[in-house]
Amino acid sequence: MSDDILNLSAMQLDAIKEIGNVGAGNSATALSQLINKKIDMDVPNVSIVPLADVPNLVGGPDTMVASIFLRVYGKAPGSVLFLMPRESAFYLVEHLLGEQKSATDGELTEMDQSALMEIGNILAGAYLNALSYYTKLTLLPSIPAMAIDMAGAILNVVIVQLGQMGDHALVIETQFLSEDEGISGHFFLVPDVGSLQTILNAVGVK
């Protein structure tokens, strides 16, 4: 990987955090409207982490999660990953489709998974729309892919796709929590290496 990502200044990291804040705020609003509940959002945490350590951000490699993964195309390509506990996935399905689901012994149907992928699409779209407005860059999401598995297994697949960038990734991480704590989730934006400078230049931070 280029050493640039390991030598970002405090001003550059603050600018990236603010960009993440705008995007995550847009996503939280979209999610709140979808399930008709207030969604609290943490201020995004911007960190440069070894790819192998990413599973620890969501409770460890053995944590069962539902994941929605998209590639970002356009002027600043990258990846979007939305991870949530399995229970949160069932909660979302219940509120969107009016179904009663048991997260302990139930399974998600094809319709359930389609609904969750659409949620991922909406969240990523809201995030990227805010980023596009803020940076004036064209950013387009791919069709989402979804899986339910242990965080380590899912992230191993993602890491293979991101591995061409090197051993580290800049991660913009935001945590969502609904007012009744029925949903929690981590939203990650991982810009490709060349995209970082493009984004920083777009907001006037060299």
According to the model, what pLDDT value does residue 116 have? Answer: 86
The arithmetic mean of pLDDT across residues 184-201, rounded, is 80
Type of residue numbered 24 = A
Q: How far apart (Å, rounded) are the C-alpha atoms in residues 15 and 74?
A: 20
pLDDT in tens, 59-107: 888 988 888 888 999 999 988 888 888 888 888 888 777 766 554 456 7
According to the model, what pLDDT value does residue 2 have? Answer: 45
Q: What is the pLDDT of the chain when averaged over all its residues?
A: 79
- For the ranges 11-15, 25-29, 46-50, 68-72, the maximum mean pLDDT occurs at 68-72
In the structure encoding, which two tokens stand for residue 32, read together? 């709140």
Helix boundaries (H) for the chain: 10-35, 86-97, 110-135, 151-162, 193-202
Domains of the chain: 3-202 (3.40.1550.10)
Confidence of residue 11 (pLDDT cuts 50, 70, 90): confident
Confidence of residue 56 (pLDDT cuts 50, 70, 90): confident
According to the model, what pLDDT value does residue 100 have? Answer: 62
Q: How far apart (Å, rounded) are the C-alpha atoms in residues 39 and 82?
A: 15
Q: How far apart (Å, rounded) are the C-alpha atoms in residues 32 and 18?
A: 21
Integer distance in angstroms from the first to the last C-alpha of the chain?
19
According to the model, what pLDDT value does residue 170 have? Answer: 67
Q: Is residue 150 pLDDT above 70, yes or no?
A: yes
In the structure encoding, which two tokens stand for residue 177, read together? 């929590």
Q: Is residue 167 pLDDT above 70, yes or no?
A: no
Q: How far apart (Å, rounded) are the C-alpha atoms in residues 109 and 40?
A: 28
Question: Phi/psi zone of residue 176: left (φ > 0), alpha (ψ -120 to 50 degrees), beta?
Answer: beta
In the structure encoding, which two tokens stand for residue 76, read together? 């600043």
